[in-house]
Amino acid sequence: MTPEVVSENEKPESAEPESIEEVTVEEKTEIEAEPEAEHQEIETVEENYSNLSLKETLDEMESIVNKDDAHSFSKKFNALRDHANHKVADEVEDKKHEFLEQGNAEEHFEFHHPQASKLSALVNIFREKQDKFHKSQEADHQKNLDERLGIIERLKNLYTNSEPGVNLFKSIREIKEAWGNAGQVTKSEFKNLNNNYFHHLKMFNEMLDLNKEFLHQEFAHNLEKRQHIISRAKELLDEKVVQKALNELQYLHKLWKEEAEPVAEEFREKTWEEFKEVSNKIHERKSELIAVIESEQLENLEKKTKIIEELKTLAKPESINHTYWQQAIKRVEDLRTEFLKLGPVPKKVSNQNWTDFKVVLREFNTGKNDFYKNLKGSQIHNLEAKQGLIKTAQDNMNSEDWDIVVPLFKKLQEDWKTIGHVPRSQANKVWDDFRDACNTFFKNYREKNNATGDNWKENYKSKKALLEDLKALTDEEGSVEKIETIKNAWNAIGKVPKDKLSINTEFNKTLREKLKLNKINEFDLKEENLSESQLTDKARKIKNQVADLESEIVQLENNLSFFGTATRDNPLLKDTYEKLDSKKEQLESLKLSLHNIIAGE
């Protein structure tokens, strides 16, 4: 049965009916006659990542991986991945160069970059997301294909099986809207699917006996769209950001191709030529963009060249000492960071510029390494001197010829202080050996003298008197000095009877109370007359307290890191910063005390 065409008076849904896109044979030919090149994508300038550090590159990759639409950033991710691989390879090559310069064989070189695992993990996660997206996309494409086939079937039924009284304008409007809203299908399906849709649309138009009024409405609607697109393109001529103008022009070309065709024949060529002319003018502005980029690259080249020249000066100093190299190392690191933050340079000199930078860094590192190799030689000499003192101490530690050996050990201790640093790997061992020999001798010396000369009961009386003096102290001015005097006198007194040993515990308890009252740390007292075992015990206690303080400082700093604006101006963090400063000050004081004990000062 022939479908009924509803007249204008029978369309209450809209005052102006939506047009039906009629594609006749002549129109189709005209549309296809427009050169395909005119609709090609607008070129964009690739983003450059050469100024990113390895950490910044990995952070960018991690940011993309964490996006829900990570697949949309595939090109950017791949560029970042290549840049990261390049960075890792360069750093491994630098490590290898340093390894070989130290005289090692190449086949013994082994180095696993600390960031290589993270890079590999990010690439694997991104690949898994890509696979998941493609599988999801395949399912969506199949769903969209079924939906579009259903729409075509509805269109076919509209002109073959429509019942009398069907509002064809409303029906075709709904079908076209459904077609426009339907999702994408695979490229292999789209062409046949699209041709099939327009074939049945053409059959529908023919069924309407080429309703001229309706067709004119469609042409007028599309012409209005074209004029709006042209108007927006002209506005882009004044857009200051050239890249933004190019990107939007690409979108306007897509809109033109998909939504602004067809129009009446007398407007087709005219509107297209006008749009093409504006597009060409916008394209011509690419030269402005290129000129700006070239200017920036030349400026970057000048800055990078100056950095290289300064590095060359640092690599060949006139005077060489430890202080110079420490300052130079810091300056080189600053220059290296500045160099890597600068943007790209002209492509024709990019490789040479990067090579010059790496070469001068290697020259600097070679000079620095040579200096510290020679410094290591002097440390070996110091090690041999200290080992000689250890040998003398060990040979005489069991001697009881006090008149000769006591002055000898004092001289050995004085000589030890005058000898400079030894290799770090040997520092603890030689000190332990020397200290053990000295402790053995002085222990024997005290035991022999205590057995013959100490009056333990008199010692107890002396300590009892000192304890009473300590208990009587308050926090008045001069109390700290009195505490030090009492403590040093206590240290000088020998042993007490075994049944009176509790006096030592009582003294230590009272000492802690008086120190707390006078707000002074036990380790800040200036003590004298300590035996070797007492010094060792004090050093052990200080080391334990240093470890505790370092742990507390790390915890406080971690707590501060959770605040986005963890500055001293933040009133909420004032107490935390004051506590942190106090802990650090106490830590430095303990470290100084420990150093003095170890150095024998």
Domain ranges of the chain: 52-61+118-210, 239-344, 346-527, 530-600
The answer to whether 329 touches 372, Cβ cutoff 8 Å, is: no
Q: How confident is the model over 268-290, as pLDDT tens digits?
A: 898 999 989 989 988 887 777 77
Question: Who's near 262: CB < 8 A, 6+ residues apart?
Answer: 21, 23, 27, 30, 31, 218, 219, 222, 268
Q: What percent of the chain has pLDDT over 90?
A: 4
> 155 vs 560, which has greater pLDDT?
155
The arithmetic mean of pLDDT across residues 10-27, rounded, is 34
State the Cα–Cα distance between residues 89 and 113, nearest whole angstrom.
Answer: 9
**Phi and psi for 118 in degrees, rounded to 5?**
-65, -40
Identify the pLDDT of residue 228. 93
Identify the pLDDT of residue 49. 78
The closest alpha carbon to 275, from 222, 231, 237, belongs to 231
Judged against a pLDDT cut of 80, whether residue 107 lies above it is answered with yes
Distances (CA, A) of 461 to 494, 500, 528: 11, 10, 21
Q: How confident is the model over 61-81, as pLDDT tens digits?
A: 999 989 888 888 888 899 999
The mean pLDDT value of the chain amounts to 79
